[in-house]
Each structure stands twice: as structure tokens, then as C-alpha cells.
Amino acid sequence: MRTLICGSIAYDNIMVFEDRFKNHILPEKIHVLNVAFLVPEMRRNFGGCAGNIAYNLKMLGGDPVMMATVGDDYASYATRFEQLNLSQEYIYQVPDTYTAQAFITTDLDDNQITAFHPGAMNFSHLNSVKDSREIRLGIVAPDGRDGMMQHAREFHEMGIPFMFDPGQGLPMYDGNELLNFIQQANYIAVNDYEAQLLQDRTGCKLESLVNKDKVFIITLGASGSVIYVGGKKIEIPCVEPSEIVDPTGCGDAYRAGLLYGIVKGLDWQATGRLGSLLGSLKIAYRGGQNHQFTREEVDQAYFENFGTRVL
């Protein structure tokens, strides 16, 4: 089953400042701040929610199809997708723009200063779900504001079940807009902070947002996750990682597990556990797409953690 993944494709430029910001920023001079940081170490990672989710879903044996907008600097990412055999059928290159990218500077205390340039992501509404073919499941992940609203509406109008994953894009919407997303979606996936923000924005308690007609997934970091479905609350444990290196992209890996479970008709306990396992495998590597696994390795790790097979 082809799964349409609407979301961002981005480059993550990560730089390491070999000192501490506090040694170079004078509190009494914040109003006239003018500083420069020498960053001898720099790496560029492939990222973006659509790219990260598709990367993980493909390794599971799924059939992800990305819908995203990119800029004139897309060539290296395009080559990567070719090597990974990931469809670029619905990736639209917007002339005279840059692909979305983050510039992250980290100091020795793991403090971060981040600048994000949305670039071509702002034109995500130029893509239409109605142009897609043979899609039976979708996800609306963080992307351009107008594009997220349009794609959710199109999924709903076409009767294609989809997951709403607002992520860092949640603050772009007011309460009524968020309630509309929830009404249209079949599945809603947020982390614990986003769940609280969702309640604050909509003025609705979690109990009223969660109903028997929707599946509501809340990730809780090291505390695992919970899935509300059919009037029940399913608690999903966190899988102990081999090491904790970088949480970037863990949520996307988790969502790939959810999408795979939905497509394969797994029960929600198995689906949540698979998502938890994928997040654990990812966190041991830097970046959102530098980890690798085979279906057999995932199945074995699932057996070791939960005592059953899943793939």
C-alpha cells in the first residue's frame, strides 16, 4: 500500500562551537548583541519530516511516497533518494528558492542557537493530494502552513485516512484551525508538550479531544508513549537504546512505525511498540537519517524486547 507523506524536506547544518556561549555573550549588552563564533566542526545532515519518515518506512519494507517542495539546491538530496530507491514523483522544485534548512550552532554545554530558513517549504500548497495515485494512507507532517491545511482537507475530501502530526508547526494555528485538523484526521500524533499546547489553543481538555472515532497518540520521551483508541488507553513502554546520541528525528522514526503498523493491520499495542523500537534505534546516531537497519534486525530486536515477532 502506497503511503503519501506530506511534509518538509530539509538540510540540517550543524556546527560545533568549541567553547561556551556564556563566555562570549555579555548579559548587560544583550540589547546591542553582535557576536561571532568560530565553528571548526560542521556537518550537513539530510532531514525534514517527510524525508525522515520515508527513510525509516522504506527500511521497514513499506512503500512511502513523499509530497514536498524543494529549492534549487536539491540536487544532492535527489541523488540520495535515487540511491535509496525512494519515489520523487510528487517532489516539486520551486525555482529561485532554497530547500528548507536549519543552521544549528551547539556549544560545549549543549546549548543551541538555531536559525531556520523555510525556503521552498513555504510553497508546499503548490502540491495537491488530488494529483496522487493509488494512495490508501497519508500523513500531514510539519510543512508550510497553507500546504498542511490544504493537504488535510484534500485527504478528508478524498476519503483517504491520514495522520495529523503538527509537530513544530502547531503554533502556526489557532484553536479553531486545530479542531478542524482533528475533525478531518483519523489519527493524531503529538508529543507531550504539543498535547498540552493543543489543549491550551483549543480550550479543550484531552478527555474531550480523545474520542472513540479517532486514534490519539502521545509520545512521552523516555517514559514511552500512550495510544488512546476505542475508549481505551494503551501504554507503550520506551525501548532502552544502546546509547543516547541525538534525539533529532526520533519522532519521525516513531511515526514511520505507526504508519507501517496501520498498513499491515497490526494491533495498536504492536504498532506502538514498533514505533518505540524505531525511535530507540535512531537515537543512537546523529542526524535523522544516519542509522540503518534491516527488517530482520528490527524483527529480532522486537522479539528481544517484547517476546514476539512483528515483521
Residue 227, in any domain of the structure: yes
Residue 175, in any domain of the structure: yes
3-class SS of residue 1: coil
Residue type (1 letter), 275? G
pLDDT score at 107: 87
* Separation in Å, CA 269 to CA 91, 101, 153: 33, 35, 29
The model's pTM: 0.94
Spans of the chain below 50 pLDDT: none
pLDDT score at 247: 87
The alpha carbon of 65 is separated from its chain's Cα centroid by a whole number of angstroms, namely 15
Residue 115, in any domain of the structure: no
Residue 40, in any domain of the structure: no
Q: What is the pLDDT of residues 287-299, one digit of tens each?
A: 999 999 999 999 9
Identify which of 294, 291, 288, 276 has the alpha carbon closest to the alpha carbon of residue 51.
Answer: 288
Long-range own/partner contacts, residues 115-124 (CB < 8 A, 24 or more apart): 118/144, 119/71, 120/69, 120/70, 120/71, 120/93, 120/94, 121/8, 121/10, 121/68, 121/69, 121/147, 123/69, 123/92, 123/94, 123/97, 123/147, 124/6, 124/8, 124/68, 124/69, 124/148, 124/151
280 is in which domain, residue-wise?
A: 2-9+46-99+120-306
Q: ∠ CA(169), CA(171), CA(274), 5° rounding?
A: 45
pLDDT score at 106: 87
pLDDT score at 152: 98
pLDDT score at 110: 75
Residue 113, in any domain of the structure: no
pLDDT score at 138: 98
3-class SS of residue 127: coil
DSSP annotation string for 74-96 = -HHHHHHHHHHT-EEEEEEEPTT
Residue 14, in any domain of the structure: no
Is residue 76 exposed (0-12), middle (13-18) or buried (19+ Cβ within 10 Å)? exposed
Q: What is the pLDDT of residues 98-132, one digit of tens each?
A: 999 999 998 888 788 989 999 999 999 999 999 99
Q: How many domains does the chain have?
A: 1
- CATH number for position 296: 3.40.1190.20
Residue 193, in any domain of the structure: yes
pLDDT score at 35: 86
pLDDT score at 122: 97
pLDDT score at 33: 83
Residue 298, in any domain of the structure: yes
